Chain A
């Protein structure tokens, strides 16, 4: 082709971020590989599949004129985007389409609630024992299902009476000359502060000083519930806080929230903020970071035997980092540990998807293969990097499900008893 005139200097704004996502639909050749890989399309006739609601339907959408509600049955698991041989950003197209749908139809109260785990945590915290007892009471759950539309069997985490932030404020920082910033996310702060303490311990064990700035929600649940304006506000605030903390690596222990910082915020939400661009470049998933240390010979290997047989499930969002499975790479260093890799794509929960009354059954049927495999293996524990997936798998199988950091933490602190099943 002849050389192109470039009357306006550049079209870079189309080659990046949210615009790139939409134009990627041009690459679709209809091969249907994504449709065969999508675990949700087979689970419900209400969802016609990634190609159909993605590159295909997108051609019929403009502005707010589209009314295709079926895209709301896409879980956002991202498997389609990963398998597409042509590089179509299907899941991202779907997320943007859902947001436009919600802009038109409005977002139900339930989704507004589910999309704000930080608010739920803050509300529940002062009355944590009461709150936790209530959400385990069948009568309460029945009422919640009827009034709010949160499925009565869906896994709901317990609120911790003390936040991770309140612990870390009183935790004296390690002296190490090298620093990292820990991005703990809502879940560690309100529901699993113990995991956060283990992350800090593991990092400090490497001689690192761990900064825990005040943070807040990354906006992921808002994004997946179609509330882009609020998600953008949350993410931008978070990015500024993290950027201001220190110009060092940012470590995330929630794979899904880490991905928001790395990529989704720019590509799906279209947040074009220098602070986010800066933080994106230096965000690491915890095991990605540890593996890098190890590759550079800097990871401490004073690991005690852990005599367990664990089954590892790499959740969708972990796989969407496109970084392999660093948790397995690192845990393989732990003497005595037997790791079985579960080869299923998705547990079905997809963040808040499986909590919704109309979607819970779909979610459970998506996860059934995984649950079946776990039951067959009878492991001592299941490992999984994403919190909502851990809660879903634990609820569905009754097995203890923990973040892989717990095992590493145990190995560094002298082995010990297997983790206990949660409630």
Chain B
């Protein structure tokens, strides 16, 4: 008999939606358990483009969605300030774009409540010198850059403080049912290597692109259509504001400044499997080419990482011949008690990260109806406890912190990760406050290894420092390094040309030439603490086809590869 936990609300899926639901429900006084098959924000939320939409993108195509974005943008600037960088955004009409569209665009903004201001192209070029000098019109909007990891951890942390339990690395294996009522779920505890049951009065399926599969565990059909999108991060910011092509829609038409990099994206192709999002070389090349229309020379900038994500799209109508891009991004809350007679289950799909709070509000409203209680949503007024200095995030924060340390310098707190300016003290503090973290967890916490050297220098330092501090034994330290080197090639494969290729040569010399990594004293091979237990459908506990697990999921270490970049 597996261990059992009880709660009022079980939330499946620790992306922005699930974390938002947990935060909202906890604020309304519900007892919540939030579970994810992996770490929080490692699904689409950790692999998205990083843009807090102003709404302008949707004014012509989907005015209602645009209005939601505009309102939520304003709300999040209040309640989640440190997770945002107030970069502002520009929509520009390049020579490839139809000027007619810009007229529609400008006319549609007021109705959708999207603040917009036309500025002369010369002014746009003054603000962003790398913009295509041939732009014909420019509009300034309230786009921002958002760190989804920070946002999700803050929601989860806030919920935890209100009594919620957060269980990452707990994939749902089955939904528990009592006739036509869902009563909870059976989970696998990957770190404890055991199974447990969670009994709940209501279950929310916030599985995003995996939501269809989760609903399937209760024998229900939710027609989620994963839409694959590809993004490329280049080594430094080419523009300080978000820059968008002012046209209806297209591939590679937005460049988002995110921390120290610029991210170009994205694409949209239907895929069967939301885990099947590895970018192809052709997709990468096409996107970089497209980027030249916005920021000429972008295709020659140093590409650092490439990754893909799966949009959780819910087609309004299914059938051959649907233009995938036309599918509404607005979200749907499905009360299965009303739709298919299955009580106790609410599915939330679609939407955007920008509207996650609104999605959570709508979802918890539905949950309250399921539970027959009436509780008011408080998330629009309650600050989410985001880690970080007061006010909006600024790019210079890390450089400033570095300077402060320099002033007090006694040489004892050197940088471990130089590219992202992470000092030894921060690494140790994070490793101690997050016991059991692997290098990949630390990477998301601190951004270690996310810069240009892609872990070439900081990985061995990190391993050594953690070992010295007694946080990593020698055997594990060696296997951390080994699996890093094995996996790093995978991560960089699609960007290995030009400058990044030179970098990987140097990194290779460090690992093979200086450290002679392959001949370090024999240790046991990198172990996964996660049992690969086949499910009846031929998938591993994470729902992926068997044999596709990557080191990203290993508890030992994983390299900064083509991975999430909020």
Contact = CB atoms under 8 A, between A and B. Distances in A.
Interface of A: 1-2, 4-11, 13-15, 19, 23, 25-31, 45-46, 48, 51-52, 56-63, 65-70, 86
Given A11-B296, A67-B396, A30 B418 contact: yes
A6 B406 contact: no
B322 interface: no
Contacts of A60: 260, 395-396, 398-399, 421
Contacts of A59: 235-237, 260-261, 419, 451
B332 interface: no
B237 A4 contact: no
Nearest to A62: B240
B492 to A, nearest CB: 13
B403 A29 contact: no
A157 B269 CA distance: 71
B470 to A, nearest CB: 28
B453 A30 contact: yes
Contact of B134 (A4, A9, A23, A30): A9
A67 B502 CA distance: 31
Contacts, number: 131
B399 A61 contact: yes
A62 B396 CA distance: 8
Given A4-B289, A14-B296, A48 B132 contact: no
A8 B95 contact: yes
B278 interface: no
Nearest to A8: B134
Nearest to A15: B297
Contact of A11 (B297, B394, B395): B297
B77 interface: no
Q: A6, A9, A62: which has the most chain B beta carbons within 10 Å?
A: A62
Contacts of A62: 237, 240, 257, 395-396
Interface of B: 94-96, 129-130, 132-134, 234-237, 240, 257, 260-261, 285-286, 289-290, 292-293, 296-297, 299, 301-302, 394-396, 398-400, 402-403, 406, 409, 411, 415, 418-419, 421, 451-453, 456-457, 497, 499, 502-503, 506
Given A26-B302, A30-B457, A59-B237, A2 B285 contact: yes
Nearest to B238: A23
A58 B133 CA distance: 24
A63 B396 CA distance: 10
16 contacts: A1-B285, A1-B497, A2-B285, A5-B292, A5-B293, A8-B134, A14-B130, A14-B297, A30-B418, A56-B418, A59-B236, A60-B260, A63-B240, A65-B396, A66-B396, A70-B406
Contacts of A1: 285, 299, 497
B396 A2 contact: no
A29 B453 contact: yes
A58 B418 CA distance: 12
A31 B403 CA distance: 22
A19 B130 contact: yes
Given A5-B289, A8-B296, A63-B240, 9 more contacts: A6-B296, A10-B296, A19-B129, A19-B130, A30-B456, A46-B409, A58-B236, A62-B257, A86-B502
Contacts of B406: 45-46, 48, 70
Contacts of B293: 5, 7-8
Nearest to A45: B409
Contacts of B452: 26, 28-30
Given A4-B299, A5-B292, A29 B398 contact: no
